[in-house]
Chain A
Amino acid sequence: MSRLVIIILLLVLSFLFGYFFAWPKYQGLANLKNEVNNKETELVLKEDYIFQLFSISRELEKYQEEVAKINYALPAEADIPETLEFLEQACSTNGLALSGITLSPKSSVSASSENPNIKETSISFSVRGKLESFISFLRQMEESAKLFGVNSFSFGFSGGLGEAGQGNEFSFKVEMKVRSWSNVLSENNSGANLQPKQVDLNLDILKNPVLKDLKIFEGVIIPEEKGRENPFIPY
């Protein structure tokens, strides 16, 4: 076979092999290289992100008391019995008689108009006592970390002009709301993979002196005795 034929044959083979095998391989390689670069970047980002998450978690541990107050103010479910116990205790402390508590039915627990994450349960109640006691009662409510929202109150004096005095008692009607919190956006965040994103957690509120002054009601009772053989007969 003449060399010229071999040259032509080799050129044709080189072209065909290059075009159909080497070039696609090269392109696949370039894509693969990009993929590796992307994965390396993803790994670095995720490492940074996880480090950032753990740093924030450690930072939050320094504010355990404040975090507890925020979780107390916005629990997953409104703790109505605890709220009623608080009201009873606050009334008793301030010399007021509590009566006529009305809870909104479960169906009327509504999302706050300003914030869909916050659910509000309305409670209405009446108290009887002196005005000074009522003011003191309101102040005690305002000091609670629950951040009770008093919607309205009303009171009246049944006597006439000249009958009112320091010792007179009033009947007060109060409407308030208790809040619970659930993150309605959390479903968007429930993917299986970590997706690094900006964590701009502003911790200034945790240093707010107002938050420090708020109090957690510690009157929650832990049942000491439980278990009866027949709970359907009088104890």
Chain B
Amino acid sequence: MAVEIIPKPKGRKKIKVSLIAIGYYLSVSLFIGVLLAYFSFYLFENNLNKRLGELSNLIAQKETREAKDLENRIFDFKDKLEDFAKLLEARKKSSQFFAFFGPLSHKRAFFSRLDLDIGGSKAELRGQTESLKTFREQMLIFAQENLIKETDLSALSIERGADNKGGVTFGLNLLLNPQIFK
């Protein structure tokens, strides 16, 4: 009689049981893990909220009225300092005109009127010379001066005396280099 050996499906059954068990434990672990993660996030969130509150308090403590006032004062002064520096840089000394103009005056010329516009660096002069020659010499002196940009003759009259000689009355507009007033 032939003996048939049929292997028991022992192994297959064991494997099936093990996979379900592994799946079971894994799913339980996963579920517990998710729960733990949630609670750790919850605790961590509480700690962070507490830290955030502390930081907000610390910041609020730093932002005192005194600090804010100091900030306003310093920024105000900074702007004022910059404006003052610009003013100082742009400052014009009107008295400098006389130191400039004196040496340019002809020895025989007389200036009877001066209107000086410091901002516009313009000088309107009225004057007299004893002759046309002197007047021309005065004009030449002005023309040779680099700090005088333009010389415009606005008026001129000659008064002849009995000896056919006479004084010259003139009006001049000078456009000056602003450096004169520095």
Q: A201 on the interface (CB 8 Å rule)? A: yes
Q: A235 on the interface (CB 8 Å rule)? A: no
Asked if A39 meets B38 with Cβ closer than 8 Å, knowing A10-B28, A152-B117, A155-B114, the reply is no
Q: A234 on the interface (CB 8 Å rule)? A: no
Q: A100 on the interface (CB 8 Å rule)? A: no
Asked if A7 meets B55 with Cβ closer than 8 Å, knowing A17-B34, A50-B67, the reply is no
CB neighbours of A33 from chain B (8 A) = 48
Residue contact A183 to B80, C-beta cutoff 8 Å: yes
Q: Mark B83-95, 1 if CB is under 8 A from A, else 0.
A: 1111110111111
Q: A123 on the interface (CB 8 Å rule)? A: no
Residue contact B72 to A190, C-beta cutoff 8 Å: yes
Q: B106 on the interface (CB 8 Å rule)? A: no
Residue contact A117 to B83, C-beta cutoff 8 Å: yes
CB neighbours of A147 from chain B (8 A) = 84, 87-88, 91
Other-chain contact of A194, B31, B33, B62, B114 (Cβ < 8 Å): B62
Residue contact A199 to B78, C-beta cutoff 8 Å: yes
Q: Tell me the count of chain B residues lying within 8 A, CB to CB, of chain A.
A: 68
A50 to B63, CA, bound (A): 9
Residue contact A25 to B67, C-beta cutoff 8 Å: no
Asked if A181 meets B94 with Cβ closer than 8 Å, knowing A11-B30, A32-B52, A155-B114, the reply is no
CB neighbours of A35 from chain B (8 A) = 48, 52
A70 to B81, CA, bound (A): 7
Residue contact B88 to A211, C-beta cutoff 8 Å: yes
CB neighbours of B91 from chain A (8 A) = 142, 147, 149
A202 to B81, CA, bound (A): 8
Asked if A161 meets B167 with Cβ closer than 8 Å, knowing A32-B45, A70-B81, A151-B117, the reply is yes
Asked if A29 meets B48 with Cβ closer than 8 Å, knowing A17-B35, A186-B72, the reply is yes
Asked if A201 meets B81 with Cβ closer than 8 Å, knowing A138-B94, A156-B112, A183-B76, the reply is yes
CB neighbours of B95 from chain A (8 A) = 135, 138-139, 142
Give 6 A-B pairs besides A4-B23, A183-B80 with Cβ atoms closer than 8 angstroms. Answer: A10-B31, A17-B38, A46-B63, A67-B77, A147-B84, A164-B112
B contact residues vs A (CB 8 Å cutoff) = 20-21, 23-24, 27-28, 30-31, 33-35, 37-38, 41-42, 44-45, 48-49, 51-52, 55-56, 58-59, 62-63, 67-68, 70-88, 90-95, 98, 110, 112-119, 126, 128, 130, 167
Pairs of residues from A and B, 5 with the lowest C-beta to C-beta distance, nearest first: A10-B27, A138-B95, A156-B113, A39-B55, A154-B115
A-B contact pairs, 16 of them (CB 8 A): A14-B34, A25-B41, A32-B49, A57-B70, A73-B84, A118-B83, A135-B95, A151-B117, A153-B118, A161-B110, A181-B83, A186-B76, A186-B79, A193-B63, A194-B62, A202-B82
